[in-house]
Amino acid sequence: MPWKATNSMDERAKLVHWYETGKYTIKELAVLFEVSRKTVYKWLGRYEAAGLEGLTDHSRAPLRHPNAVPPAVVAAVVAAKRAHPTWGPVKLLPPAEAPDDLAAAWPAVSTRAALLDRYGLVQRRRHRRRAVPTAPPLTVAMAPNDVWCTDFKGWFRTGDGHRCDPSTVQDAYSRMLLGCDVVARPDAQHVRPIFERLFRTFGLPLAIRSDNGPPYASVGVGGLTVLAVWWVKLGIRLERIAPGHPEQNGRLERLHRTLKAECCQPPAATLLRQQQRFDGWRPVYNTERPHAALGNVPPATLYTPSLRPFPTRLEDPQYAAATAVRRVRSNGQIRWQGGLVYVSEALVGEAVGLNETATGWSVHFGPMDLGLVDPQGERVVHHPDRGPKRERKA
């Protein structure tokens, strides 16, 4: 014959029944049911107060939570998240116009994260393995305008089918988004007016960091393009990330992810509408959105315009007295030692300098070492002991 299965409720009911028979004392019941006398008194008291319902298990949760978040604060956190769907709990700070009592009761980051999860406002991402970080090979920005980062966010099509190529420019130190512009074509002719506007508004940076594609760089000597030549003449140092390493421009890549989430999904109906989205979002990013890498303050709190004004006239680079200066002809060549040496079509009309070294004649454009005149005297080639030289901050 199998054992009869019982549960806690059956045992408690049996305890009460045996007690009501008058045959058992409290002590005997405690021994028979292998509990303490205090427990026997507890279940008898509950039965007397509520009958069989009193024998059920009660919740162990406290009736009051002294650290519970007030409903008004919960509503404010949820409203802030719905106003900024792409912001995480770290960025959801009390609004500037919030009353003092609301700001004082604002919950911690972990509590804000739990509230967002409770209300289904968390979008979980797939965990991705991260590479071991390495020392940055480029200039470390120590102040505003030390380095500007520029690139094109990946193109997409607007609702009417037109291709949209957003050009972005960001200050590396403060993360200030200086410009976000839709260009008709991603070439120097359409990008230069953007930088002219930014230079007039914010002044000149010390360096501009870009990738190795047009209109910022080419496969020619020095990686020069018409746009890069203009930057060098303005006294701006060129910085280019290593090919295939977008993480070296990681600040801008991270901005592009936020830009895509908040302005491009879904795309606007037309290019004009898309530009209006960018123009409306940029002040929010710069002045309202807290940035975790900046201690949860918006970029505008750290950015100041450059003290280097945009000049009204460009001068030729200055060379030492011992330097031979030649001006690049319309076909990209210079006349040298009775012949023609090809330099670069990006330098048409510009003055380059030549200096004799132990390995041959070295060609410069301002501070940039472009390479050597080849032994045949036909073109400028990279130095044999190194590739294109990357300018570094001293």
Measured in whole angstroms, how far is the alpha carbon of residue 35 from the centre of its chain?
61
Do residues 257 and 227 both lie within one domain? yes
Q: Is residue 152 part of a domain?
A: yes
Q: Which two tokens stand for residue 334?
A: 């210079």
What are 109-123's pLDDT values in tens digits? 888 888 888 888 887
Buried b (16+ CB within 10 A) or exposed e, 279-302: eebbeebbeebbbeeeeeebbbeb
What is the structure's pLDDT at 383?
65
Q: Which range (79-88, 167-176, 312-321) has the least confidence?
A: 79-88
Alpha carbon of 111 to those of 50, 154, 389: distances in Å?
38, 36, 51
What are 271-286's pLDDT values in tens digits? 999 999 999 999 999 9
Mean pLDDT, residues 262-270 taken together:
93
Tell me the CATH number at 151: 3.30.420.10
**Taking 90 as the threshold, does the pLDDT of residue 105 lie above it?**
no
**How much is the mean pLDDT over the chain?**
88
Q: Is residue 123 part of a domain?
A: no
What is the structure's pLDDT at 191?
96
Q: Is residue 212 part of a domain?
A: yes
Structural domain harbouring 344: 324-381
Do residues 243 and 151 both lie within one domain? yes
What is the structure's pLDDT at 139?
85
Do residues 169 and 273 both lie within one domain? yes
Number of domains in the chain: 4
Instruction: In whole angstroms, give the CA distance from residue 249 to residue 253.
Output: 6
Do residues 272 and 202 both lie within one domain? yes
What are 203-255's pLDDT values in tens digits? 999 999 999 889 999 988 888 999 999 999 999 999 999 888 888 888 999 99
Q: Is residue 37 part of a domain?
A: yes
Q: Is residue 390 part of a domain?
A: no
**Taking 70 as the threshold, does the pLDDT of residue 149 lie above it?**
yes
Instruction: In whole angstroms, give the CA distance from residue 187 to residue 374.
Output: 31
**Taking 90 as the threshold, does the pLDDT of residue 390 lie above it?**
no
Do residues 180 and 241 both lie within one domain? yes
Confidence bin at 132 (pLDDT 50/70/90): very low
**Taking 80 as the threshold, does the pLDDT of residue 394 lie above it?**
no
